[in-house]
Amino acid sequence: MLRKNPTGHMPVVSENAFVDPTAIICGKVVIEDNVFIGFNSVVFDTVIGKGCVIRHNCVIDGLDLPNDFHVPPMTNIGADFDLNSISKVPPKYSAFSESVVSANHTLVQGYRRIANEL
C-alpha cells in the first residue's frame, strides 16, 4: 500500500519493482528498478537501491539501501543502523525474490500488449 506522509510526499516506485500488497510504503520513498519488497514490510523515508531484496516483516526507516542489498526477514533498520552488520546473502537464497521480479516484468509486458490491442 502506498501512502502519503503528513507533509504530502508520495512514494516513487519503479514499474520494474515488486511490492507485496501487504507492504506499507509511506512518504519520501524511492524504490528503484528490480527491487523486491516482501509481505508485511514497512518502508519510510528512504531510497531503496536497484536490485535490493527486502524480505518479509522488515522495517526500513530513514536509511538508504545501496544497490543489490539483501535484508533478511524480520530485520528493523533505522537511521543509525550499521548495514555492515548484515551478512551477505548467498545468491541461491535470493533466487525466489528474483524470480518474482522477473515474472512481474513478463506480466507488465503482457498487460501492455493487451492494452494496445483494445
Provide CB contacts within 8 A for 111, sequence distance 6+.
none
Q: Which helix (H) or strand (E) holds 31?
A: strand 24-31
Domains of the chain as residue ranges with CATH? 2-117 (2.160.10.10)
Average pLDDT rounded to a whole number, residues 96-116:
70
Q: What is the pLDDT of residue 47?
A: 97
Q: Rg of the chain over CA atoms, in angstroms?
A: 15
In one-letter notation, the amino acid at residue 3 is: R
Q: What is the pLDDT of residue 6?
A: 74
Tell me what pLDDT residue 98 has.
Answer: 64
Average pLDDT, the chain: 86
Query: What are the b/e assignments for 55-93, b being 16+ CB within 10 Å?
Result: bbbbbbbeeebeeebbbeeebebeeeeeeeeeeebeeee
What confidence tens digit (pLDDT) does each residue in 37-92 have?
999 999 999 999 999 999 999 999 999 999 999 999 999 999 999 999 987 765 66
pLDDT for 24 equals 96
Please report the pLDDT score of residue 114 as a whole number: 77
